[in-house]
Structures are given as C-alpha cells and as structure tokens.
Structure 1
Amino acid sequence: MSTTPRVVIIGAGIVGANLADELTVRGWHDVTVVDQGPLPLTGGSSSHAPGLVFQTNASKTMTEFARYTVEKLRGLDVDGAWCFNQVGGLEVATTPERLTDLYRKRGWATSWGVQAEVVGPEECVRLHPLIDADRVLGGLHVPTDGLAKASRAVVALARRAQARGARFLGSTRVIGVEQAGGRVTGVRTPEGVLPADVVVTCAGFWGRAVGAMVGMEVPLLPLAHQFAWTGQVPDLVGRNDELTEASLPILRHQDQDLYYRERGDTLGIGSYAHRPMPVDLRDLAPDDDVRESSMPSMLPFTEEDFAPVWEQSQLLLPSLRSTKVDIGFNGVFSFTPDGGPLIGESADVRGFWIAEAVWVTHSAGVGRAVAQLLVEGRSEIDLHGCDVHRFEEVQLAPEYVSETSQQNFVEIYDVLHPLQPRTSPRGLRVSPFHARQESLGAVFLEAGGWERPHWYEANAGLVEQLPAEWTPPAREPWAGRFSSPIAAAEAWRTRTAVALYDMTPLKRLEVSGPGALGLLQRLTTGRLDKSVGSVTYTLALDEAGGIRSDLTVARLGEHLFQVGANGNLDHDLLRRAAPADGSVVVRDTTGGTCCIGLWGPRARDLVQRLTSDDFSNEGLKYFRAKRARIGGVPVTAMRLSYVGELGWELYTDADTGQRLWDVLWSAGQDLGVVAAGRAAFNSLRLEKGYRAWGSDMTTEHDPYEAGLGFAVRTQDQGHVGSEAIAGLGADTVTRRLSCLTVDDGHSVVLGSEPVFLDGRPAGYVTSAAFGHTIGRPIAYAWLPASAGVGTAVEIEYFGRRIPATVSAEPLVDPEMARIRG
C-alpha cells in the first residue's frame, strides 16, 4: 500500500503533465491530474503553443530549465511520432546593435554549457535558405534548439505517468480548494471532492483564479499574442514529409519582434510587435467544444495588428511574397511583472503549490524542479528568481501586475542593459531621504519598487578634483550606460573623508519572543547566543548545504533580534519556520524604518559632534550595536560596513529619518561629507570581497566554495544543512568563487560572461565593477579550485577575450585596519 501523499495537479497541459511524470518516476503514484477541458487537447496555452525552444537566456536557471526540456522531450514519442524535432535555432541580426547583442548571448550560452556560435550572413542563408542575405548582418546558431510538439508531448507524458499509477480527469472543472487547519485537504469539483495532501496548480493563464480559491495572490496577467500560418510557400514544397514536419532551424527576427517555424510547406509567424492585449478570463469561450482550430485560448485574429508584421516578414523572407496569410489567431499566454515563472507554496495554506507562467520552453525543467521540491525538499537548480514570494506587497497589486506584465510583453525581444530600470510605474517606494536626494540631483534606478540613487549630480564638480590615480578610464558605450565618473568621486570621498549611503531598501525583519533565539540558531550557521548588542554575519542554508541567503543578525534584547535580509524570500522562510505556539513573532519593519550607512575615515569625527554617546572604538566595537541619539534623533547604531571603511549603519524610524539625514549633512560639511550611491557602493564592496547573495552565490553553492566558511559555527551545529556540510572545508572544494582583476585596466564586464582557463570554458562571472581604489576593473567568477592566485584567465566579452588574473582577496585593506580603526 502506497504511503506517499495524495497529489492533485490542476491543469493537464505541458506543465501539469511534466509534473505528473516527474512525481511518479520518483515514487509518488497517488497523483490525479484534473483539467476543465477535454483530454488530451484541453484548450489551454499548451494546446496551441508554437513550441519554439530557444535555450539561451541571461538566467542560468532558465537556461537549465530549457536544456532539460530539450533532453527530456527528445526521448519521447507518440507511436513513433516525435515530441521534439532538434532542427536548431537561429537568431538573426539586422542592426549592428543586435549583432553585438548576439555575441553577448553567445557568451551566456557558453557560460551555461550550451553550444552556440555567431555566424555570418552566408551561413545564415545556408542554414535557412528563405532568408535574404542582404537583410542580415549575422546570426546566433544553437544546434541543439528545436521544436517541441507540446500537444503530442502531453500525450506521451500522460501515458508514462498513468502507467505508474497517475490518473487524468478531463472535462472536470475545479470550483474550490478544500482546506482545514491551514492545510489543503482536497479539490472540489461538480462531481465531488478529490482528496489531497498536496495541490499544485499548473493552470496557466487561469492560475490567478485558482490561487484566489485559497486567498493567494498570483501575479500574472493573461495576454494575447499573435500567431499566423501562411499558405503554401513555394520554396518549402518538397522539403518535409508529414512526419518530419520541419527541417529548417526555428528563426527569430528580434529586431522586428518576430519568430518563424516550419510546418510542411507552410510557415508559422509569431509576433510581439503589436499592442499589448490583456485578456479578461470571463470573456473566454467555454471548454466544452475544444478543437485544434478552436479553443478558449485562441482568440479572433486582429488583421490590422498583423499587417505591418507581414510586410516585415516579406522583407526578411522574400519567398513569402508568393503566398498569403492563411489562418491566424491571438493566443493567450501568461506574463508576469519580471518575466519569470511563479513557483512556490502558499504562505498561508500549507500544501497548496503553484507552477504558473511557464512556457513550453521551460516546462520539463520546471516540472522536475517542483517534483524535487515536493519529494526531496529542494531543487537542484536555484529557484530564487522564480519563487512566487520574491515580490514585495506593492508588486502584487493588480494595477502593478497589469502594467509591468504588459511592459514585459513589449520589451520581450528588446536589447536591455542589466541595469536598465523600469520607466513606469516609478516612485512606488521612497526613503525618508528622497526629497534631499532629489535636491542633490540623484540619478535613481529602481529595484523591488524602491527608488535607489546610483550617483548624485551634485558631486559632478568633484570629478575635476580627483587625483590622477582615482580618475577612471572612459567606458565603452554599452558598459557605460547607467554609469558615471561621478561614482569614482563618491568612492574617493568614501575612502578619504565620509559619505552618506541610503541603505533603507535593504529588508529588515524583527524576530522576537522567547523562541526567537532558538529559531534563528536552527535556521542559520552562526553562533547567535551572544550578549545583547552583538551583531553576527551568518548564512541560511537548505538541507543540502546550499546557501539560501546571507543575513546580518543583531541581538537588540534578550528576546529581540533585528535581521538584515536580502528580500521577501527571507521573510517567507522565517514565517514558515516560526513555531505555531506563538513563541516567535516575525515582523517586516522595513517600511516603518530607514537606514543611513555613514562610512569613511572621518565618520567618527562627524558622529561624535552630534552625540554624547561614546562612538569610540572601545565605546562601540566592530560588529556591535547599541541605541544612541544623534542630533537628538534616536538611532540603533551598528558598527559594520559593506564598503570596508570605518562607520555605522544608523537605523531610525521613518518619521525621524529626514532629520537624521539633515543633522549629519549639516555637521559634515567641513569634513567633506557627500551623498553616495549604489554605483560607488558596488565598487567598494567588490574591492573588499563582500558577496552579494543571488548574484555571487545561491543554493547551488556551499559556504566553503563561496569563501564564507568563516560564517559557519563549527561546534554545536544543529542548524539546517549542518549534516550536509559536515566534513567540508576550504581544502575540499573543487570550485571556488574567485576574485579577478582585468589586466588591461579599463575593460569592465557586466556579469554572466564565460571565463576561459587554458583556452577552454571553465566558469562564469557573477559580479563586476571598476575598482576605483585600485584603479582596475574587478570581476568575481566561479572557477575550478585549481585556479589559484596568479592564474591567467580570459573573460569573453561581446565576442572578444579579455585577459584577467586570479587575485588574492580582499584587494583593499586585507588587514582590516581601516574598518576596525
């Protein structure tokens, strides 16, 4: 008799079918897949999806999902008919900017282990003879990309899952999710209740409605996307038989927001070039009459939106001039505020999971990841960029979800800089210092809804005062976007005088109650049972020893802790782990408080003018905290610094924040005080070797690989992940997060570039910046542990190799004399 949980999967499309397959192969056989549409063609997005699988993505996680989809679907067939046709993928460039970007994409592919090459116009035409060679400058060819036949793959996956015990119920509408005691107990249908210990919604664009059944806000927006089939294309006649269907590479013409795929002697054309078309689910047709040419997810074709697209298609593919559009439709797909999938368990109803906003490209990878989460407790692939709880409360508002999802639709094929901010909505979250920052000409970028100064135009005059060794080299145009030489001046003043940094957007959590210490000791690697006033840098690991987050924990009372966290995922972790007996209270205090990082060799001179409290080295030691008053403002001062200089993080309530800024600003004028932004901050933190979770390390890395073994208590472990890392150390690692300095002194990379060792790909860049103090670019990268200090490597940047050297870290003040002064 099976003792595995009873699982109900809502949605029998490509994601639900993959999940059923992945669960049953892991021994969970009590799996029911239910769908409101008929089987196997349910009428959702999978039923009409064009099935293009382009693997290369800026995200390692998304690329890994796609690679697994290719690997898995290649091994499937339905009665001899293919589920994946590996015809390859070709992305063409018709502008110099796009061609340059294709070299960047080739770098991503190399970083993540996907074979890819940038080819010239002649090779583009050899690969895809319909292309007009005079229209293209080159292309990115990925031989392992191809076509997924989603509707056929669903059949193959369902057959395998059913053979292991799963059952599929079609034409069965879900009308509710049963729950008791904060847990799911079943799924209600008109025919009765399907008992369940675990419910996973894979309902696609219906996901928001299903989430609402348990009060869960699912931030996705259904949008219509145009797709059309041509009539017979003469140059395709005779190329394919009915079984093969396609032999040319799938093709993307991203300069015009278009893609193409073969089907026999016709061509399918998909377009993102039209206006966003949000879909109201109430307007969709019923599911009781689903056919290949007619289903709820296929809306009427709007010919006026397609007319410009048809003209552009005929320019790139002249063969289309001898045919016409045969049929078309506007297909419904899910979009999210940041373009990523939505994976995770409800914060309030245990056992209710979602796997939404997942396209065919990533379907098998997501199915495997969710199955691993359910069966094994963790995914082998880092999921922080897909976790549904990554969004802040303000980002869950329907208005925000609608606007940002539509913006993602418009920008889906655009060449975007890694720092490129949203243009709208803006001003959602501002610190109490915002008015002062605006008056200083702050250049704001956006993250998590926060307005974050990256530099201040008021400091432009300081650039002329920079000593020669601090003067930064000119940046090449792409890397130089969203940067300014003013950052060098702000870094200079931080190292030589004193600067104010707005640290308000960093997540702050209050953990209190008699069980607070025990909870934090169980979840983190550091020793926290220290005196009141202690501050500890520590890690949160998963059961396999991967780094879930890095945290700064201040003990402000016997049962009161302030946790400096990375984001909402940490809040979710602490909330879930808190005991049900009420002995621990977890509160997000970020919005009601604020923080100034006051750092630099003159920081003590400044703060001591404004307080009678002792801010001397003995009065407040490194990594200690105390309550004080500065200029009459009550603060919690923590002696720590992520720029490597003497100073404090000064916390106060939001209503007194502007006053704190003003008194520090006024009193520091003769000391050379400046306001400094994130550009300087990032440069200074890399010079000190401080890691950024989510970029430099994730759940795919253990503390010793990441160079953070010092944050792990070696005695009385007992924390999550302790068994997994027992016996590990700096001498056991096979890979390491390494510090690189760029040999030419001026080439600044952006992140995710491949790193070559002895001419072969060996790792990838995580974080990078120009090191203003050392006068050279810095990059951190994952490399084999054998690549010790002094090892010569190369970073591939937009197709060219940049020599770099593995360097000892930290690059600045290794003795820690400045920060402890």
Structure 2
Amino acid sequence: MAPRTVTPHVVVIGAGIVGTSLADELTMRGWCNVTVLDQGPLFSTGGSTSHAPGLVFQTNPSRSMAHFASYTADKFRRLTHEGEPCFDTLGGLEVATTPARWADLQRKAGWARSWGIDGHLVDSATAAELHPLLDRDRVLGAFHTPTDGLARAVRAAAAQAAAATARGAVFRGHSPVTEILTAGGRVTGVRTPHGDIAADIVVSAAGFWGAELGRTVGLTVPLVPMAHQYAYTGRIDALVGRNHGDSDASLPILRHQDGDLYYREHGDRIGIGYYGHDPMPADMSTLSWADDGDSSSVLPPPMPSMLPFTEDDFAPAWLESTGLLPALGDSKVESGFNGIFSFTPDGQSIVGEHRDLAGFWVAEAVWVTHSAGIARAVAQTMIDGSSEVDLHESDLYRFEAAERSPAFIATTSAQAFVEVYDVIHPRQQRSALRGLRRSPFHAAEVALGAEFVQGGAWERPAWYESNRSELDDLVARGMHIPARDEWSARHFSDIAVAEAVVTRSRVAMFDMTPLTRYDVEGPGAAQFLQDVTTNNVDTTVGRVTYTLVLDDNGGVRSDLTVARLAPDHYRVGANGPLDLDWLTRRARETDGAVTVRDVTGATCCIGVWGPRARDVVAPVADADLSHTAFGYFRAVQTYLGAVPVTMLRVSYVGELGWEIYTDAEYGGALWDLLWDCGTPHGVIAAGRLAFDSLRLEKGYRAWGHDMTSEHTPIEAGVEFAVKSSKDFVGKAALATREATQRLRTLVFDDADSVVLGKEPVSIGDSVVGYVTSAGWSATIGRCIAYAWLPIGAEPGAAVTVSYFDRQYDAVVAEDAVVDPAGHLIRR
C-alpha cells in the first residue's frame, strides 16, 4: 500500500502487549489518532499477556523472529512504569541433558552469531555457576545469552500505553467490540455497547480471540487457542533472601527443552512452564471472567485465559524438574493454571491486511517475546508500505487454500504445540495431512520409488530410489561422494548426487507442477505487469522475461517468470500465495481491465533438461525445437504427440531444455509420452534435492531463502532484471538505497565439508554474514553455499563457516561456478 498523506483514525482491538505496542509504534511515527479498545480491564485484560510468564529468549531459527525478539528486549529494557522496570536483564540459559540437545545448542549458538545476538556455549560447571539450583551432573553444557531476560508484560503494556496516550491515543477498557462496521468493501468503524466509533483502519490484536473476530468479517485467521501448563512451587529454601525489593528474580531464565520445560523465579518460589502434555485446544464458548482472585497470591487474578490446573498432566514435569533442580525436592506444586496462548500451523505469527476488506488488519499469534518487534514492523508497513524486517514468514496470506481449512489448522497447530521444544531438522517433514495435493504424475513417481517432501501442501519428489543404480555406477567409477555427518545425512540420500550428474550428462524429467503459476489477462495486462514488475514485459508474443516485484521501499518481495502467450494473456511463474495476494490487490485497481487467476491446480508441468533434452522432445513436437527457431527465454504453444502444451525455454538447472505445461487432464499422457521417448536416451526422473544443487551451481537465487524484501536487487545480484528506463513500484525508493551487503557464492575447500544453511560466516575472527542456501555440487565436487556478506567481500576472499563445533574453510567465488556464460542452456 502507498504511504498515506492524511493521518487516519486507527482503532486497535486488544489492549494487551501487542495492541499497546502497536499504539506506541504508530503514535511515535506521527499517527496519533489511535483508539485502543478491550473487553477487559486495562491493562490486565484477561488475554495471554495478563498471565504470560514473560521469558524472552531471543535466538530463533528464523532471522526475522530473532530480530523481533531483540528489538522487544531492547525496547522493554528502556521502559519504566511508575518507576518500575519493564524488563529484567537476567540472561537466558538453555541446558542440554542429552547429546542431541548439546548438538542442537551448538547449532543455536551459530544462529545467534548469524543474527548478531551475543550468545555463548558454556560447560556444565559454568552453567551451574550461572544457575546454582542446577544439578551439574545432569547437564552436558548450556547456551548462555546475557541479554535475554524477563519482560514484565502488563507493566510494559501500561508503559507503552502511557507513552501513546501522551501523544494523543485513547485507551478504553470494558469496551468489547460487538461488530466491525463496513461500507463499500472497506472498514468504517466498530460497534461497542457504548456506541459506534468511526475508523479508517481497524486492527485486530485480540490474541486468541482473533480467529473468532476474523470470522465476523469473512477472514480466516489460522490460529488455535491452546492451554499450556504453568505451575508455582512452594518456598524454595535456596532462594530465601536471594531476591529483594522490587525484583523477584535474579537467576537466568532457564530452559530444559529435553524435558519440554522452562523456569523462572517468583521471589523464593519457582515458576515452571510445561509443554510435554497433550495439546489442549480451548473451547472459546466456555471462557469468562471470574474476578474473585486473591491479590496476595503469586497468581494473577483468574481470567478467561486461565483454565484450571490439571495436576495429572503435570506429574511428569514435576519428576523431571526435581531431577534437574534438586532443591525443588523439598517443595511441591502449590498452585498452577493452564494458560491459553495462540498456536499456528507453522509456529509463526499472523499479520497483514484483509484482502477483501480494506483497512482491516490483523496482528495475531504474537507472543510477548516478539511483541514490540512485530508491532514496529506492522506500523512501518501501515505507514510506509513495508517493514525494514521482512514479514513474509508471518504474512496473513502465506497459506494455500487447503492450509486454511479448519482440519489443517487444528491438526498442524497441535503438532506445532507438540514440537515447540523439539530438535527440528530443516528438511524434516510433518506426518499428518499428507497427500493433499498431488500432481498427475504421482502414481508414476510412486512406482519409481519417490521419496516425497511437501511444500504448499504439494507432494514433491525429493529423490527416486529407482536411481540407486546410477549412484552405484558413480561409486564404481571412483566418483567422490562426501562423507556426511549424521545431521546433514538426515532426510537426504546420495541418490540426489547421481540425479544431478545424469541431468548434466544425459537428461532428466523433473515434476515442476508445484511451481505456482497465474494467468494475467485483459486489455490492461501488459501495462499492469509493467507497473508492478521491474523488467520490460511488454514484449513480443512468445517472449519470456525474468523480473522482480519490489515493495514500496525498493526491497525484493518476489521474483517472477513472465511469458507473454497472447497480446492480452500472460502466464506468470511465481513463488506462492503471497504473490497472488499482491497481484490481486493491484489488479482490482484497474477497474476490470485485468484479471489474475491461479491456474496451478488446473495445470501440470514437467521440466525436461539435459544435453539430450532435444533428442527426447523434438521427435514428437509439432514445432521446430532447434535453437534458431526456439531460442532461450521463448515460449511456444504446440503439441507433443496429441497433447496440447505450452513450452517455455527456460532452465533453473542451467541445462538445455524446457518447462512443458499442459492441462492436468493430459498430465498422465504427457509423462508417459516423454518417458517412452526418453528411455532410449537414458532419461531418469530427478527430484528436488538434485534440482537445488544444480541451481546453486548456476548462481540462481531462491526468493524467501536467499533474498527477501530486506534486500535490493543489486545486493541480491539480480540487478540485471531491473529496467531503469521504465517506471515500476519501488523505483523511487530504490534510487535512494545504498548497497551495504551482497549475496555471494562460497565454495568450500574440503570435499567433505557440507553445511545446510543459517550458519555464521567469518572473515578472520569476526562474524560478517550468514549462509542462506547450500548444497553439494556433483559437477565441481564441493559444497556450494550462498551467503550474505559485506559489500567488500569480493571473489577470492577467504572465509570460515561455523557448522556445529566445526570450522570449514571456503572461498568467495563468482556467482555461477558452472557454465557462467550460459553456453549449456543455449545449445
């Protein structure tokens, strides 16, 4: 959205930590006409904020979430309310009691260095010094983050509300919103028992009530309110006299993730949080106030977000806790509750504007840990059009249609609860709700022994067991296969190496059906795409163009492949639902001159690539497939046998070949035809792992992994897709941004060095960047990685990549390490 010139009236629903943070962030940027409403009292409103234990551990596998947490900790550290601090910088300590967890903490320490967080691995003796209640003999080691700590959530909410009030914001408790008022497809205000309030923008920051509120305006907010156990011990003798005055905690906040547990002090008692019980989805119809709590208790007053404590569920937690913290053995669980928090299918937050109701925004499933950071990002997006920290992982519209179903949301959110403290491998797959989307080639792939992974609810072959003989042949011929460690070998097969070799040496068929594609049509289609993308797409019919989509601040929000099939018809290859959201919103501004239609499920695609690709396809093609007649980055609509196809001469693997599309009804016939034609030429089916390693060899970027809205085209190395002679969204901002970093290709020195992504990269003794994508190249016999590095790290520079407790040497290389001139593609 474009920045506003007139300050709007914003109504925020929810005065918990998210709503108050957002009011503060908006008003500090000049949007001071803000009203914040809540159904409960201010500021212990009855939601998750009111009972949240407040532990802020900043390190996260998601770079964005880590940045949100760091901003939250830094902001709250500076806040006071009525003279009291809003954050206690106690440090965070995460202990390992198993070798698997100790290895995971080494990986976590790498994330911290990658994201610029001060964190250190310590031995068991140091861990026990930091937290004397620990049984040193139970601990193998720990990860210590000195700037982690306790957020005083209600106090921080009140402090931010006071700052926002001083700038003109208004806060009203006991003011439930009973209706969202709308007219002409946009928000006009809200209705409360005390009267209507007009608004230009309404933000739902209602926490676990957000899903129900969304339903009232036809919006699916994919979250599930889940109860999570929190218990208070009786007095712990070892803590008596330790905490004085206003501080009820002095020891580091503690995680025992092997036991699904965390701990914090409450004066001379310990609070224990537990995730090891079965998921407990909350019945929203039963939640109500019972304002009769004992104010002298360590417990907050009873409220809708606090359900009765279920002692039997907590029994394993107590047994595990007394083993890790022996001092608890002389105490007992004195009180507790099952507190409600929001869980989502992928564990991320949910932010964005309703596509079909302009002005209605959501900021939901946001925990205290990330609250101020996400509030700042939402405020920046509302005011400036985009956030300085990329938000695609939290975007409201990141889910496919099947992933927005009640069954999917409930099942996967429950899995997210179960796995909240699990060691999750980056290639690990969920087990539930598989097989929702299958290409027409699925049966043939099963017959070839495909090992499937999923993405966007699609089943995607990762590799094929039928190609094991190809691997055996490579080994027999003396090809070096890297000796992978257990972690990098998990959910992987060396068969993928063989599939990459065959693609480079013969020919392979790749199932490209999950590639998202849209038809953009209408008399305004050409101008529309010219306006929203960076490259010139107003080309001759039959031309294919690689182009970018920028946000209002010049960051890369996506990359597209645009094929002009007719004067008013384009086929757009995109990255997923966020692109559909972006294009659909803007197509509506063309007064019907443009339509955007998702044709992914109605079509299918096979990528046929390799030096023998033309030998396979040309004999059955009703078109001239010679390089002269059908050049690179061209599109042709023709027939293969009797199957009508659209062929794009593009190659994400850097080999001769085509993406071949047809309607889904012809998919089985197309596969059989190409397989039969390819058999004499040694065709194989190849999977996603081979595909990924081949694209890394060519320097091809993957949006969302290698580049996001935080990066400019020059920084990402895709400036060739920007046509400066035309206007496009983000052009003006792009001209003002200076490149400070660059996505670079790394080649590892040792043939057995393999990394997976997110590892810190150092020059000398200083961490200067981090890995985005990585894969072992069969062509050069080395691992290749992309990494964000300072602009001055030119090809030839030596770097070190930290992988668990190992250090791997690598060198900065040119973007493409295989066929940089593109001769193979243009045969």
User: Normalised by the shorter chain, which TM-score bucket?
Assistant: over 0.9
1:785, 1:216 → 2: CA distance? Answer: 43
Alignment-derived partner of residue 764 in structure 1: 770
1:133 aligns with 2:139: no
**How far is the alpha carbon of 1:241 from its aligned partner?**
1.2
Partner SS state of residue 627, structure 2: coil
Paired amino acid for 1:678: R
1:413 aligns with 2:421: yes
1:288, 1:561 → 2: CA distance? Answer: 60
**How far is the alpha carbon of 1:580 from its aligned partner?**
4.6
Alignment-derived partner of residue 597 in structure 1: 607
1:611, 1:542 → 2: CA distance? Answer: 41
Task: Name the CA shift for 1:3/1:675 in 2 (closer, same or farther; >3 Å).
Answer: closer
Contact 1:43 1:287 survives alignment (8 Å): no
Partner SS state of residue 227, structure 2: strand
Partner SS state of residue 601, structure 2: helix
Alignment-derived partner of residue 675 in structure 1: 685
Paired amino acid for 1:396: R
2:171, 2:732 → 1: CA distance? Answer: 39
Alignment-derived partner of residue 425 in structure 1: 433
Comparing 373-382 with 138-147, greater Cα deviation is found at 373-382
1:521 aligns with 2:524: no
1:748 aligns with 2:758: no
**How far is the alpha carbon of 1:211 from its aligned partner?**
0.7
Alignment-derived partner of residue 111 in structure 2: 108
User: Can you give the 5+ residue segments of structure 2 that lack an aligned partner in the other structure?
Assistant: none
1:506, 1:461 → 2: CA distance? Answer: 29
Alignment-derived partner of residue 263 in structure 2: 260
1:98, 1:263 → 2: CA distance? Answer: 27
Which of 309, 314, 320 matches 2:322?
A: 314
**How far is the alpha carbon of 1:474 from its aligned partner?**
2.0
**How far is the alpha carbon of 1:612 from its aligned partner?**
3.0
Partner SS state of residue 714, structure 2: coil
**How far is the alpha carbon of 1:361 from its aligned partner?**
0.1
Which of 443, 456, 467 matches 2:464?
A: 456
**How far is the alpha carbon of 1:734 from its aligned partner?**
2.9
Contact 1:8 1:32 survives alignment (8 Å): yes
Alignment-derived partner of residue 701 in structure 2: 691
Paired amino acid for 2:789: L
1:38, 1:726 → 2: CA distance? Answer: 48
Comparing 155-164 with 255-264, greater Cα deviation is found at 155-164
Deviations 1:3-37 (CA, angstroms, capped at 9, x unpaired): 51010000000000000011111111110000111
**How far is the alpha carbon of 1:286 from its aligned partner?**
3.6
Alignment-derived partner of residue 435 in structure 1: 443
**How far is the alpha carbon of 1:776 from its aligned partner?**
0.4
Query: After the TM superposition, which residues 38-57 of structure 1 pair with which residues of structure 2 at under 5 Å, given as runs?
Result: 38-57=41-60
Alignment-derived partner of residue 812 in structure 1: 818
Paired amino acid for 1:185: T
1:239 aligns with 2:248: no
Partner SS state of residue 129, structure 1: coil
Contact 2:622 2:641 survives alignment (8 Å): no
Alignment-derived partner of residue 661 in structure 1: 671
Query: After the TM superposition, which residues 367-446 of structure 1 pair with which residues of structure 2 at under 5 Å, given as runs?
Result: 367-446=375-454
Partner SS state of residue 595, structure 1: strand
Alignment-derived partner of residue 712 in structure 1: 722
Partner SS state of residue 584, structure 2: helix
Partner SS state of residue 397, structure 2: helix
Partner SS state of residue 330, structure 1: strand
**How far is the alpha carbon of 1:727 from its aligned partner?**
7.4
Contact 2:119 2:145 survives alignment (8 Å): yes
Partner SS state of residue 137, structure 2: helix
Task: Name the CA shift for 1:820/1:115 in 2 (closer, same or farther; >3 Å).
Answer: same
Which of 567, 584, 608 matches 1:558?
A: 567
Alignment-derived partner of residue 545 in structure 2: 536
1:577 aligns with 2:586: yes
Task: Name the CA shift for 1:469/1:526 in 2 (closer, same or farther; >3 Å).
Answer: farther
Partner SS state of residue 704, structure 1: helix
Partner SS state of residue 775, structure 2: strand
Partner SS state of residue 264, structure 2: strand
Deviations 1:698-757 (CA, angstroms, capped at 9, x unpaired): 011100111111101121x210111122377xxx63321100011111111111110001
1:472 aligns with 2:492: no
2:227, 2:573 → 1: CA distance? Answer: 41
1:792 aligns with 2:798: yes
**How far is the alpha carbon of 1:469 from its aligned partner?**
6.4
Paired amino acid for 1:338: D
**How far is the alpha carbon of 1:242 from its aligned partner?**
3.7
**How far is the alpha carbon of 1:446 from its aligned partner?**
1.0
Partner SS state of residue 705, structure 1: helix
2:44, 2:753 → 1: CA distance? Answer: 52
1:442, 1:783 → 2: CA distance? Answer: 37
Deviations 1:104-124 (CA, angstroms, capped at 9, x unpaired): 000000000000001000000
Which of 185, 188, 191 matches 2:191?
A: 188
Deviations 1:351-396 (CA, angstroms, capped at 9, x unpaired): 0000000000000001101111111111110001010100001100
Alignment-derived partner of residue 488 in structure 1: 497
Which of 135, 155, 174 matches 1:171?
A: 174
1:213, 1:537 → 2: CA distance? Answer: 40
**How far is the alpha carbon of 1:470 from its aligned partner?**
4.3
Deviations 1:265-323 (CA, angstroms, capped at 9, x unpaired): 00000000000000111011247768723000000000000011100000000000011
1:226 aligns with 2:234: no
2:106, 2:633 → 1: CA distance? Answer: 44
2:428, 2:464 → 1: CA distance? Answer: 18
Deviations 1:152-193 (CA, angstroms, capped at 9, x unpaired): 111111111111111111111111101111110001112221
**How far is the alpha carbon of 1:631 from its aligned partner?**
2.2
1:386, 1:584 → 2: CA distance? Answer: 28
Alignment-derived partner of residue 363 in structure 1: 371
1:370, 1:469 → 2: CA distance? Answer: 55
Contact 2:291 2:301 survives alignment (8 Å): no
Paired amino acid for 1:343: V
Contact 1:471 1:488 survives alignment (8 Å): no
1:611 aligns with 2:621: yes
Task: Name the CA shift for 1:182/1:289 in 2 (closer, same or farther; >3 Å).
Answer: farther
Which of 1, 23, 31 matches 2:34?
A: 31
2:291, 2:355 → 1: CA distance? Answer: 34
**Scaled by the length of structure 1, what TM-score is found?**
0.98
1:310, 1:650 → 2: CA distance? Answer: 59
Alignment-derived partner of residue 586 in structure 1: 596
Partner SS state of residue 388, structure 1: coil
Alignment-derived partner of residue 776 in structure 1: 782
Partner SS state of residue 438, structure 1: helix
1:708, 1:158 → 2: CA distance? Answer: 43
Contact 1:36 1:287 survives alignment (8 Å): no
1:737 aligns with 2:737: no
2:156, 2:239 → 1: CA distance? Answer: 26
Contact 1:514 1:559 survives alignment (8 Å): yes
Query: After the TM superposition, which residues 142-153 of structure 1 pair with which residues of structure 2 at under 5 Å, given as runs?
Result: 142-153=145-156
Deviations 1:485-508 (CA, angstroms, capped at 9, x unpaired): 111111111001110001111110
Residue-pair matches, total: 816
Partner SS state of residue 770, structure 1: strand
Paired amino acid for 2:232: W
1:329, 1:580 → 2: CA distance? Answer: 53
Paired amino acid for 1:649: E
**How far is the alpha carbon of 1:632 from its aligned partner?**
1.2
Deviations 1:572-621 (CA, angstroms, capped at 9, x unpaired): 00001112511100000001001100100000000012123111112211
Query: After the TM superposition, which residues 631-642 of structure 1 pair with which residues of structure 2 at under 5 Å, given as runs?
Result: 631-642=641-652
Comparing 811-820 with 548-557, greater Cα deviation is found at 811-820
